[in-house]
Structure 1
Amino acid sequence: MPDEMIAVPHSAGTRKPAIAAPEGACDAHIHVYDRRFPMYGSPDAMLDNATADDYRLLQQRTGTQRTVIVQPRAHGTDNSVTLAAIRALGAHRTRGVAVVRPEVSDAELKQLHEGGIRGIRFTLYTSTNAATDFSMVEPLAHRVHALGWHVQLHWSADQIAAHAALLDRLPCTVVFDHLARLPQPDRLSHPACRVVSRLLDNGRTWIKLSGAYLDSAAGAEGGYADTIDVARAWATQAPERVVWGSDWPHPTERTAKPDDAQLFDLLGRWVPDEAARHRVLVDNPARLYDFS
């Protein structure tokens, strides 16, 4: 197969991106699914052909070398699937974000840290099969803060606005998933935008420039053009605290998978300046995820 044509499971198209990934570029948001490990919740949440070995094909296509694996909903709080994927992709260039509950022991947290975990995630935008809840966020944030970890939040914009006081109390670094999930059509006027913008000013809040398809009316055919305003707003306000992620294998997109080359090239529209884009892909993730 020619170098420029690489077929990847759960990804449309085969071309490489027009933008070249710089040395040390990080894909800061992927998931790995593997039936060899315990599963949680509905069997429908499971994806096949989404292992660490499958993801290597996407690395060949986009040119990224570092990776952050986010524990998927389908594997619940058994983080062994993520730890195994970190080892498979290379512990020196791979980190992970775990899902835990308050009963997690200090010994388990230490083991997770040694395995490459640097944060925990609360996927609460829908309650279906959620392994955690809002009452767990603050106590767990205090525990992982001692390890130097961050708390990653996949919440709806309405949830962000409703829990503004909770967010203010969190002691650790906070990372908002997928552009903070601001909805169309007036996303910059949503109350959550003001909450996130205020938190960005505290110096320990980050945004993932990812998930363009989640809240886009324009979609792939329209080049996700209606995401540019919010992505540029976050990248302009906190250029040193934004990272990029593919969200492969795109678990929310069950009928038609996005083109990962298009998503990578979209970063060029979100962050047009090459030096700023280098910061997003290399420098920022190295600091957030403790890459040497």
Structure 2
Amino acid sequence: MANNSRSATADPLRPSETVPAKMPRVPREPLPAFACDAHSHVFGPYDTFAFATPSSYPPPLAPAATYREMLATIGAQRGVLVQPAPYGTDNTALVAALRAGGGRIRGVAVTDANVSDAALESLHASGVRALRFNEMPSPQTGKPFAGSVGVDTALALASRMKMLGWHAQVWARCADVPAIAERLGKAGLPVVFEHMTCFDPTLGVAHRDFANVLALLREGRIAVKLALCRVSKQPPDYEDLRPFHDRLVEANAKQLVWSSDWPFVRMGDAAPDVGALLDTFQHWVDDSALRQAILVDNPARIYRFEN
């Protein structure tokens, strides 16, 4: 952590300049009761929750209270917070947000293989239900993001994760999904892939990489987060993703959860509005039973929300 003798303005772990979190409008259609946004992040306040490693992007100011305001605006009674890379394995900000959530927020933490059993049990008591693993290289360096942990660590932690009933959440390229799913499956770990598995929409729905994802999804071997903004080449309507989204829903809607990715780091002016993202989802998925499954029932099961 940072040396306390250094000033806040000189310390890259306590950024003095931040990007305000983009707040949403209310969706056109109300969400079903206990709807869940299954992928967001909290950042700051930095005088309390400094980064573990300097951020590779302009950091947003998105503390827990602002996050809860976002959920309230869109009408989501539940949410899942995911540990962002600049906090590394220091889950303090995440845990504080979970504890302030009154049981309606679950967490996806990051740890290394040397984490103690007591630390894992403490995370579980706070509302953590998964660990995040990153196999997506930084677009700037081609190397792993600073503060991220790879799938090899998941294998080292597999037995202890299973004891807690946790799953692995993975950010990876679409082409790598089958091999990662195979490795984690052999270790007995359920796996949820972020950002629709990060396929390239210009390759089309028939491309083998996306076809492999659909096959794994049909067999129930993976779950997938329906987050549009990291994949599409056509914001803000994301029409290039509609065929892929439709096929994911058709393949196995019971293994899908909806996610915003708020507060949209590294997106700048291209950051979407969460209310608009929900409008798109509810336009594309106009069946109330499918909406109920993806927004409510699936996240309740996967993240073990209590009624």
What's the TM-score once normalised by structure 1's chain length? 0.88
Q: Which amino acid aligns with 1:26?
A: C
Q: Give 5+ residue unaligned stretches, structure 2.
A: 1-19, 138-143
Residue pairs, 1:199-214, within 5 angstroms:
199-210=216-227, 212-214=228-230
In structure 1, the partner of 2:61 is 49
In structure 1, the partner of 2:191 is 174
Deviation at 1:40, TM superposition (A): 2.5
In structure 2, the partner of 1:20 is 30
In structure 2, the partner of 1:290 is 304
Q: Give 5+ residue unaligned stretches, structure 1.
A: 1-8
Deviation at 1:24, TM superposition (A): 0.8
Residue pairs, 1:10-159, within 5 angstroms:
10-11=21-22, 15-34=25-44, 35=46, 36-45=48-57, 47-90=59-102, 92-126=103-137, 127-159=144-176
Which deviates more, 60-69 or 181-190?
181-190
Partner Cα distance (2:247, 2:298) in 1: 17
Deviation at 1:274, TM superposition (A): 1.6
Identity of aligned residues (%): 36
Contact 2:134/2:151 (<8 A) preserved: no
- For 2:80, what is the secondary structure of its paired residue? strand
Deviation at 1:204, TM superposition (A): 4.6
- For 1:240, what is the secondary structure of its paired residue? helix
TM-align CA RMSD: 2.0
- For 2:254, what is the secondary structure of its paired residue? coil
Which deviates more, 158-167 or 125-134?
158-167
2:275 counterpart of 1:261: yes
Partner Cα distance (1:138, 1:255) in 2: 38
Contact 1:125/1:159 (<8 A) preserved: no
Which deviates more, 101-110 or 141-150?
141-150
Partner Cα distance (1:75, 1:46) in 2: 14
Residue pairs, 1:182-193, within 5 angstroms:
182-193=199-210
Deviation at 1:219, TM superposition (A): 1.2
1:232 corresponds, among 246, 257, 260, to 246
Deviation digits for residues 174-204 of structure 1, max 9, x if unmatched? 1011111111212423433233223224435
Regions of 4+ moved over 6 Å: none
Q: Which amino acid aligns with 1:290?
A: R
- For 2:297, what is the secondary structure of its paired residue? helix
What's the TM-score once normalised by structure 2's chain length? 0.84
Deviation at 1:41, TM superposition (A): 2.5
Deviation at 1:168, TM superposition (A): 4.3
Q: Which amino acid aligns with 1:206?
A: A
Deviation at 1:139, TM superposition (A): 2.2
Summarize the Cα distance change of 1:278–1:30 in structure 2 as closer, same or farther, 3 Å threshold: same
| Equivalent residues, number | 279
Contact 2:173/2:198 (<8 A) preserved: yes
- For 1:227, what is the secondary structure of its paired residue? helix
- For 2:276, what is the secondary structure of its paired residue? helix
Contact 1:30/1:69 (<8 A) preserved: yes
In structure 2, the partner of 1:6 is none
Contact 1:45/1:73 (<8 A) preserved: no
